[in-house]
Copies of this chain bind each other. A is one copy, B any other.
């Protein structure tokens, strides 16, 4: 069951053609914005276009946020030909107009439906209308479909029933000839991480996120540990709940097919800056889609400086990185009700033989965390491994965060131009992430803070609900990458 990171060669590419969802999209996790977390059903052309413009102006487009996704509640039902019709009050110029405007801005346009009789807000669903609706979306110029799971007429409960239900839409989208990124949203029911790779570009693996660090809510009844077999995904799942839920199957994400940890809550106000940094770090490192969920039009400086932060985004958009995995979890952190009593080490394999590590303190007091090369490279043999014998430069991935002052200038100027943001701002329109990484662009690497050598303990104090994130780079040349599959 091991997975391999294939070198991209002719024969492999040929083979990859058997993917049912071979639309060529999401070779790295998709980025964008969706209105749901901040606005719910309160949607309109104004909201979408106003947000889209801001995404361009604030420099978010240029770091990769590409899709503007309209979620539920846009519909006025079906016409006499069973064709979906947009709500004419909310979208007076129709959907094609919205798509055109997005395309004019260089953005992609995403829409929403459900693999059920109704959407979750009880508008017309696509079950039984897959081909027609895919054609409609394609005719409007849609580039992305978020496909939900409500009112599915009992077509759930085992992998094959669910696979078949979602495959119908996958085939319908492919049949349009238009490349449409396909984001499954069945909340992890029936273990999509086992089977969705050949039909979808991403699949939600849990119930809906809620803008809270670790609040228990009976409506998200499975704790993280039970996430591999949750009888009720629920909603109001905390960020930490989702993080622990995905840990057993991070490896199921592959280029073109990703675990979706749900949309970002950064900027919505329910977590602290420290917690939002942890949220952004781990969503990037696990290679979840990165879909902003806040009100972009009233962006605040700290949120912007997180969302633009290149050394973290580089973990996600690196074409050769694999999803971070959890090396260990210790239940040794003092917790007073907010945080779980856990510290964790995660590690991620990056392009060029680099390695990222993440020391998480989920507890409620400062904690000193420690690791070593033998610890980090356990999969390769630990102390026996080649990697543990080498010396590694250590770069702090958050040290160079854009200051609130600078971020505030961008917000105020409504533009990145004329503001000195070069230290960690990376314009991916000018140079791709792949090229930037290949060129060792300093904005992607973080700030050098020391060196790790064989046998040495790396100790660091981590604040409560926080994470220290480092990139390790072998001294004196790139080490040979020997990922496990």
Using a CB–CB cutoff of 8 Å, the interface residues on chain A facing chain B are 1-4, 6, 11-12, 14-16, 18-20, 36, 40-41, 72-73, 75-77, 87, 117-118, 120-125, 148-164, 167, 187, 190-191, 194-195, 197-198, 207-208, 215, 218-219, 221, 228-229, 231-236, 247-251, 254, 269-270, 325-326, 329, 378-379, 381-382, 384, 484-485
A262 to B159: give the CA distance in the assembly, Å.
Answer: 25
Closest approach, in angstroms, between the C-beta of A288 and any C-beta of chain B? 17
A384 touches B269 (CB 8 A): yes
A84 to B159: give the CA distance in the assembly, Å.
Answer: 28
The residue in A2, A254, A269 that gathers the most chain B C-beta atoms within 10 A of its C-beta is: A2
A72 to B18: give the CA distance in the assembly, Å.
Answer: 17
B381 touches A269 (CB 8 A): yes
- Interchain Cβ contacts under 8 Å between A and B, 12 examples: A2-B121, A4-B121, A11-B87, A151-B198, A153-B195, A154-B195, A157-B158, A219-B247, A219-B249, A229-B232, A269-B384, A270-B384
A218 to B221: give the CA distance in the assembly, Å.
Answer: 20
What is the oligomeric copy number?
A: 4
A400 to B286: give the CA distance in the assembly, Å.
Answer: 51
Main secondary structure of the interface of A (DSSP, over half): loop
Known: A14-B76, A76-B11, A117-B18. A231 touches B122 (CB 8 A): no
A163 touches B153 (CB 8 A): yes
Q: Give the residues in chain B near A154, CB-CB below 8 Å.
A: 159-160, 162-164, 167, 190, 194-195
Q: Of B16, B118, B124, B269, which one neighbours A198 at CB under 8 angstroms?
A: B118
Known: A11-B77, A232-B228, A329-B218. A485 touches B120 (CB 8 A): yes
The residue in A148, A161, A198, A234 that gathers the most chain B C-beta atoms within 10 A of its C-beta is: A198
Closest-by-CB residue of B relative to A152 is B195
B251 touches A219 (CB 8 A): yes
Q: Of B41, B155, B190, B207, which one neighbours A1 at CB under 8 angstroms?
A: B207
A sample of 13 more A-B contacts (CB under 8 A), given A18-B125, A158-B158, A236-B379, is A1-B149, A3-B121, A3-B122, A4-B40, A6-B122, A117-B198, A152-B195, A153-B195, A154-B159, A154-B163, A157-B191, A219-B251, A235-B251
Closest approach, in angstroms, between the C-beta of A18 and any C-beta of chain B? 5
